[in-house]
Structure 1
Amino acid sequence: MKFIDEARIEVIAGTGGNGCASFCREKFRPFGGPDGGDGGRGGSIYAIADRNVNTLVDYRYAKMHRAENGEPGRGSDCYGKGAEDVHLRMPVGTLIIDNNSGEVLADLTTHGQTELLARGGEGGWGNIHFKSSTNRAPRQKTDGKEGERRELRLELKVLADVGLLGMPNAGKSTFITAVSNARPKIADYPFTTLHPNLGVVRVSHEKSFVIADIPGLIEGAAEGAGLGHQFLRHLQRTHLLLHIVDVAPFDAGVDPVKEAKALVKELKKYDESLADKPRWLVLNKLDMVPEDERKKVVKDFVKRMAWKGPVFEISALSREGCQELVNAIYLHLQETKAAEFRAEETTITEEARGIHSIDPDDPRFKVVE
């Protein structure tokens, strides 16, 4: 199935049914009075996050989604039937944006999360609502209100703990195949990865994390060159980025340090917050370097790169060093999530206690002598 991570749709909620102006005409009930019922409510449109849906392909072709209108009211105090609501199932990680105003309407981050996209119109009132001591035979009624209508832009940002960055043919697909259950296409030419791939990395039976691989970035990606810039949004929810570098390129004229710096530059052009995420340097294809030269190659690369963060030496093909990297990633993720949980817990506790700053000049807190 083709991976679709963007779509534009139009949602139209149902219009409420009109109220009815009717009078009782039963035998033995002269002057029975008004008995017109209200109109039914129009159907609303909701989005539901579903972990069993992986792409937005359904919304690439079905662009208009309309709810039914409510039924009109009838005589004999009969109210119109309300229309059924429409539920649109979308992948977890979908961002729903109003295409006209740019407002973010919903961010579907958890399975089963339900968000209102377009509210159905209320039904009109029948003439029974207008009966009074001075108006015993009202002929007034109101029409149902129109439902909301919106043009929406859907953007899918996959939910992964770790994201892979690198130039084409850096070995990202080989790495994700070596450490996870993902099986992306692998070949000896660039741009074999045409869409994001997700893999679950099992550290043990009860310990795991999700890793995402996107198409390789090239210089000029921020201006539209290559494919990687189209999928960088999928890395915005990750906790850690792995910058995978091919230290033994086949082309002798290629400088790995220059390519690595160019990738970092493109990352900053796209999104400063993404560039500020924790990023580890992973030097791949060390099996292609003679064993007695590896330390020199790594030391020279780190020095020229002026890298201050963690550095890992691996061979995704032979899986050398991969397990050590996986263990380090899992520990980092646990520490990060624990810190986020503590920060969130502290915020909730402070809000519950109503803690606030006290102005010493406030007369309410001055000691009366």
Structure 2
Amino acid sequence: MKFIDEAQIEVSAGKGGNGCMSFRREKFIPFGGPDGGDGGRGGHIYVEADSNLNTLIDFRYQRLYRARNGEHGRGADQFGAAGEDMLLRVPVGTLIRDAESGDVVADLTESGQRIVLAQGGQGGLGNLRFKSSTNRAPRQSTPGHLGEQRKLHLELKVLADVGMLGMPNAGKSTFIAAVSNARPKIADYPFTTLHPQLGVVRVGEGQSFVVADIPGLIEGAAEGAGLGHQFLRHLQRTRLLLHLVDVAPFDPEADPVRDARSVVAELKKYDSELAAKPRWLVLNKIDIVPQEERKARVADIVRRLRHKGPVFVISALAREGLEPLLREIFEAVRKQGPATPEPMHDPRFTQNDA
């Protein structure tokens, strides 16, 4: 299935039904009085987070959503029925913004979370409503109100505790396959990973965390080069970044330190807050380096990078050094507690409206 993490849609709530102007007309009742009912309200448009979905692909093929209008009022004191509400389902982690103002309408971070995207219009009043002791035969009614219309931008940010970044072929897919239940495609050419992968890592009884793998970053990613810049948003909800570095690249002219610096530079260009997240250095593919050279090569890379955070040396393929790393990750994630979602700037849409 094609992975879609961004979409533009337009929602239009239903129009309220018109109020009716009617008078009771029956045999032997010459002055029956007004009996025009109110119109029904237009249908609301809701959005709900669904844990069974993992892509916004449905919103690429249908971009306009209209709820049903309310029925008009009728005579004999009959009120119009309310328009049927519409429910849109999106993956957990979907951020919805107003396309015109840019304000956050909803940040759906929990399965089953539901809000109103567009309010249906109120129904008009029938002439029954205008009856009074001084106006016994009112000849007035009101039309139904239009429903809300808005253009929305949907953006999926996967929910993961740990995010991985690095150059293409740094071994990210091999790592996530070795430590979790994810089964990404693994090959020896760049950009094997074309869309984010999520994996659940279990480190013990009732102890687990979620790790996310995104396509590799290359120099110029923030300006559109490669694939990684399209998916950096998926790292914004994570609490810890694992920076995988290939210590034994196939290309003899490749420099792991230069590649690592370019990844950090692209991260800063994309989002300074993302670049400020805790970042651990993970030196991968150590099994390719001869035993007598490993210590010197690792020391040289760490010295040149001037990395101040934790450093781990592993081989994802040979599963060397994984257990200590996973245990440290779990402890770090546990101490940080649950992630805090982005604030909502549009209070009108924070709760259900019956």
Equivalent AA in structure 2 for residue 52 of structure 1? N
For 2:87 and 2:275, how far apart are their aligned partners in 1? 37
Partner of 2:153: 153
Partner of 2:68: 68
Partner of 2:211: 211
Partner of 2:350: none
Q: How does 1:89-238 map to 2 (within 5 A)?
A: 89-238=89-238
Partner of 1:263: 263
For 1:103 and 1:139, how far apart are their aligned partners in 2? 44
Query: Per the alignment, in what secondary structure is the counterpart of residue 325 of structure 2?
Result: helix
For 2:208 and 2:138, how far apart are their aligned partners in 1? 69
Bigger shift: residues 81-90 or 22-31: 22-31
For 2:329 and 2:132, how far apart are their aligned partners in 1? 73
For 1:67 and 1:286, how far apart are their aligned partners in 2? 58
Partner of 1:350: none
For 1:138 and 1:60, how far apart are their aligned partners in 2? 50
Partner of 1:355: none
Equivalent AA in structure 2 for residue 211 of structure 1? V
Could you report, residue by residue, the CA deviation over 1:255-286 in whole angstroms, capped at 9, with x for unpaired residues?
10011011101100000000000100000000
For 2:235 and 2:307, how far apart are their aligned partners in 1? 21
Give, in angstroms, the shift of residue 103 of structure 1: 1.4
Partner of 1:278: 278
Bigger shift: residues 127-136 or 212-221: 127-136
Partner of 1:34: 34
Could you report, residue by residue, the CA deviation over 1:100-151 in whole angstroms, capped at 9, with x for unpaired residues?
1111110101111111111100000000111122211111000000001111
Could you report, residue by residue, the CA deviation over 1:185-220 in whole angstroms, capped at 9, with x for unpaired residues?
111110000100001111123111110000000011
Query: Per the alignment, in what secondary structure is the counterpart of residue 203 of structure 1?
Result: strand
- Where structure 2 has 5 or more consecutive residues not aligned to the other structure, the ranges are 341-354
Could you report, residue by residue, the CA deviation over 1:13-49 in whole angstroms, capped at 9, with x for unpaired residues?
1000000000111233231110100000100100000
CA RMSD of aligned residues (A): 1.1
Structure whose CA Rg is larger = 1
Query: Per the alignment, in what secondary structure is the counterpart of residue 326 of structure 2?
Result: helix
Could you report, residue by residue, the CA deviation over 1:140-192 in whole angstroms, capped at 9, with x for unpaired residues?
00000000111111000000000000000000000000000111111111000
Equivalent AA in structure 1 for residue 243 of structure 2? H
Task: Considering fraction of residues, name the structure with more helix.
Answer: 1
Structure with more relative contact order (C-alpha pairs < 8 Å, separation 6 or more): 2
Could you report, residue by residue, the CA deviation over 1:278-313 in whole angstroms, capped at 9, with x for unpaired residues?
100000000011112111111111101011110000
For 1:308 and 1:150, how far apart are their aligned partners in 2? 47
Equivalent AA in structure 2 for residue 220 of structure 1? G
Query: Per the alignment, in what secondary structure is the counterpart of residue 204 of structure 2?
Result: coil
For 2:294 and 2:181, how far apart are their aligned partners in 1? 29
2:29 aligned with 1:3: no
Aligned residues: 340
For 1:27 and 1:282, how far apart are their aligned partners in 2? 90
2:243 aligned with 1:243: yes
Equivalent AA in structure 1 for residue 174 of structure 2? T
After TM superposition, the runs of 4+ consecutive aligned structure 1 residues lying more than 6 A away are: none
Query: Per the alignment, in what secondary structure is the counterpart of residue 210 of structure 2?
Result: strand
> Quick one: percent identity of the two aligned structures?
70
Partner of 2:16: 16
For 1:30 and 1:205, how far apart are their aligned partners in 2? 81
Query: Per the alignment, in what secondary structure is the counterpart of residue 175 of structure 1?
Result: helix
For 1:102 and 1:272, how far apart are their aligned partners in 2? 20
Bigger shift: residues 202-211 or 117-126: 202-211
Question: TM-score w.r.t. structure 1 length?
Answer: 0.91
For 2:336 and 2:9, how far apart are their aligned partners in 1? 37
For 2:47 and 2:203, how far apart are their aligned partners in 1? 34
Equivalent AA in structure 2 for residue 124 of structure 1? G
Q: How does 1:323-342 map to 2 (within 5 A)?
A: 323-337=323-337
For 2:55 and 2:275, how far apart are their aligned partners in 1? 26
Partner of 1:318: 318
For 2:103 and 2:222, how far apart are their aligned partners in 1? 24
Equivalent AA in structure 1 for residue 26 of structure 2? E
Partner of 1:366: none
2:296 aligned with 1:291: no
